[in-house]
Structure 1
Amino acid sequence: MKALLSTKVGPPETLEYADAPDPEAGPGEVVIAVKAAGVNFPDVLIIEDKYQFKPPRPFAPGGEVAGVIDSVGEGVTNVKVGQRVIGSLGWNGFATKAKTQAARVMPIPDAMPFDEASAFILTYGTSFYALKDRGHLKAGETLLVTGAAGGVGVAAIELGKAMGARVVAAVSSEEKAAFAREAGADDAVIYPASGMSKQQSKDLAEAFKKACGGGADVIYDSVGGDYCEPALRAMNWDGRYLVIGFPAGIPAPPLNLTLLKSCSIVGVFWGASVAREPKLHEQNVRELFKLYGEGKVRPRISARYPLKDGAKAIRALADRTATGKLVITMD
């Protein structure tokens, strides 16, 4: 098979497009003939050993794939050879074949194409778990989404609207603001693309408050860094601040703000939740497929890359130039 391999710690340019042994399904495992793979921010981190998990090398990045079951191991009953599926792997997805536990695979609707399927579970699964199970977002509340033009950000916009919230998108350019509004955001705030002065931080907090009609009930922060504090200052009483990721750096917010607003900072580790709470995950996926069937959510794929050019997709994500979802295709 072909794979995009990380053989040493480094940026996307260190990845090697090479031959690799075909995986074999052991007991409780399946092998997927991969048709498409979603590109996500953990792929940027894992090849530089900055992610929560550090697999032994060589390995391929790629945590979510869509394809057809190629073979099944002993004891597998939930899927069969030839079935169209989504697989949540963690890594090794940027390859023409991928092995994973059968419990991490599920059939996809017949009407869902492989590219959209490969861009669905991680972003929408993360955002749905965040908003529903961690943020307890209610209809009529106001949701502020940072990094709103990225994959998980756009998913949060669509899901927030489907859940009956007013959604404000926070992005770094006019182009991304237009993209977020097209995805359903009610308003958008443009923040500086790099570090801010104290005055800029205060001004951004006021801009967030104004756009949110006084403040946000739930903040979905997929950026971190200098954007954390002004967002937290725009929080309503009893609000919930959802920690999603840190492409702009790990922030250290002044915790007195949580006291003054009686608000909560809530961690969101979707990958661990899937392993710890599989029944919750299965229910969430059923609800997400229903929303997809109703046309309320749909991956917004902005670019597709062949496997040999997969490093370019990861670079675009690392440089924060991408909007929506990026997908690697195998054919």
Structure 2
Amino acid sequence: MRAFRVTSFDQPPQVEEIPVPQPQAGQIRLKIESCGVNFADTLMTTGKYQDTPELPFTMGMEVCGIVDELGAGVTSPAVGSRVVVYCGSGGMADYGVFAADRCLPVPDGMPPETAAGFMIAYGTSHLALKRRARLQAGETLVVTGAGGGVGQTAIEIGKLMGARVIAIARGERKLAAAKAAGADVLIDASEDLTARLRAEGGVDVVYDAVGGDAFGQILRAMNREGRMLVIGFASGTVPPIPANHLLVKNVDVMGFYWGGYVKFNPEAMDESLKELMQYFAEGRLHPHINHVVPLSDAPEALDLLTSRRSTGKVVVNP
């Protein structure tokens, strides 16, 4: 079978031919239909992601596929059923083996591409805003990187929770994508963010996946008892945190790593994903798949993220 593999952190990943894997006890094998592509994948290619697997490995953190074979002791999901699974790696291939108890059924009417690109982006935004930031109806939420795939999910979830959402993105195209996702206020990232956000009444919750200089500017515009979520550093710069600002305004800065919940609280992750799947089934979420790329062109899928050309989710279809 074909697989998009990292064999060295000094060389770009390539599509290779490897044996079809066999499911072990507790595992199922999927005939993979679609695999979501994430910014973390781009970090894995050079070993810079916190959960980079040991070399060599197949890329792809979230997949949708048809159950093809069951390992010993597994009775469900049934062969022939469509499921999604957050796997961390192994998704950009024709087949993959994954833990059966991590699989979730795909709602009727959800295409494979949508299902594969759903878990990490929506799961991150939902668990971060609901569990960690405790976002309340009527509060003001700021989303950075709001024109990208993850940022758009944060806008949608924030609106579902009753927040007023301010979107920060760079350029008209990204801001238009944020507006389409439901943002109430649009701010170009090149503006004086502190002054602009203060003029908008300040900030209660921040969903920051960008880091860099914007972090400090937004922090200075936060309201008393505001909560800032550290989601990632798409800018490439990890910002310093001035502890005196936190003290004076009683502000919380909290880290959030969605994938970590697999190890210390998988129940919280599963509960969140089931709630999100129900929202989709009810027509309350509208995932935006921006690019569908064949496995043979998987390097292009990564470049769409690193070059910031994508305004929605990128998926790879074997």
Could you state the TM-score of these two structures normalised by the residue count of structure 2? 0.97
CA contact (8 A) 2:147 2:176 kept: no
CA distance in structure 1 between the partners assigned to 2:201 and 2:159 by the alignment:
19
CA distance, structure 2, for counterparts of residue 91 and residue 45 of structure 1: 13
Whether the 8 Å contact between 1:116 and 1:298 is mirrored in structure 2 is no
- Structure 1, residues 157-178: CA drift from partner, whole Å, max 9, x if none? 0000011101010001111111
Return the alpha-carbon distance in structure 2 between the equivalents of residues 115 and 31 of structure 1.
19
1:328 positional shift? 0.7
Task: Quote the offset at 1:274 in angstroms.
Answer: 2.9
Task: State the AA in 2 paired with 1:265.
Answer: V
Between Structure 1 and Structure 2, how many residues are aligned?
Answer: 317
Aligned partner of 2:231 in structure 1 is: 244
Per-residue Cα deviation, 1:164-193 (whole angstroms, up to 9, x for no partner): 10101000111111110011000111113x
Percent of residue pairs bearing the same amino acid type: 42
Aligned to 1:260: 248
1:109 and 1:275 map into 2 onto residues whose CA distance is 26
Task: Kindly indicate whether residue 202 of structure 2 is the aligned counterpart of residue 215 of structure 1.
Answer: yes
User: For the structure 1 residues 36 and 294, does the alpha-carbon distance in structure 2 shift closer, same or farther, using more than 3 Å as the test?
Assistant: same
Give the structure 2 partner of residue 295 of structure 1: 283
Contact 2:61 2:91 in 1 (8 A): yes
* 3-state SS, counterpart of residue 21 of structure 2: coil
Give the match for residue 3 of structure 1.
3
2:65–2:83 CA contact under 8 A, matched in 1: yes
Q: Residue type matched to 2:215 in 1?
A: C
Q: Equivalences for 1:189-228 in 2 at 5 Å?
A: 189-192=187-190, 203-210=192-199, 213-228=200-215
Q: CA deviation at 1:56?
A: 2.1
Q: Does 1:327 align with 2:318?
A: no
Say which of 71, 74, 77 aligns to 1:76: 74
Deviations 1:181-233 (A, max 9, x none): 011000111113xxxxxxx7xx22111222xx311111000001111101111
Runs of 4+ in 1 over 6 A off after TM superposition: none
Superposed displacement of residue 298, structure 1: 2.2
1:10: Cα distance to partner?
4.4
Alignment of 1:129 with 2:117, yes or no, is no
Matched residues in 1 for 2:85 and 2:183: separation?
A: 30
RMSD of aligned Cα (Å): 1.3
Once residues 10 and 158 of structure 2 are traced to their aligned partners in structure 1, the CA distance between those partners, rounded to angstroms, is 36
In structure 2, C-alpha distance between the alignment counterparts of 1:144 and 1:44, rounded to whole Å:
25
Quote the residue 2:169 is aligned against.
171
Relative distance call for 1:65 and 1:326 in structure 2 (3 A) is same
> For 1:67 and 1:255, how far apart are their aligned partners in 2?
46
CA distance in 1, matches of 2:109, 2:193: 42
Residue in structure 1 matched with residue 178 of structure 2 by the alignment: 180
Aligned amino acid, residue 266 of structure 1: M
Partner residue in 1 for 2:55:
57
Distance in 1 of aligned mates of 2:262 and 2:194? 34
**Are positions 1:232 and 2:230 aligned together?**
no
Counterpart residue type for residue 264 of structure 2: R
Question: Which deviates more from structure 2 when the two are superposed, residues 28-37 or residues 71-80?
Answer: 71-80
Q: CA deviation at 1:59?
A: 1.2
Q: Secondary structure at the match of 1:242?
A: strand
* Structure 1: gaps of 5 or more residues: 193-199
What's the offset of the Cα at 1:62? 0.8
* C-alpha contact 2:34 2:113 (8 A) present in aligned 1: yes
8 Å CA contact 2:291–2:315 kept in 1: the answer is: yes
After TM superposition, the score normalised by the length of structure 1 is: 0.93
In structure 2, the residue corresponding to 1:189 is in which secondary structure? strand
| Distance in 2 (alpha carbons) for counterparts of 1:231 and 1:216 | 8
Determine the C-alpha separation between the residues in 1 that align with 2:262 and 2:249: 31
Q: Distance in 2 between matches of 1:115 and 1:231?
A: 34
- Is the Cα contact below 8 Å between 1:67 and 1:86 reproduced in 2? yes
Of 114-123 and 226-235, deviating more is: 226-235
Alpha-carbon distance, 1:74 to partner: 1.3
Query: What CA deviation, in whole Å up to 9, does each residue of 1:86-128 have, x standing for no partner?
Result: 0111011111111111122111112111000001011011110
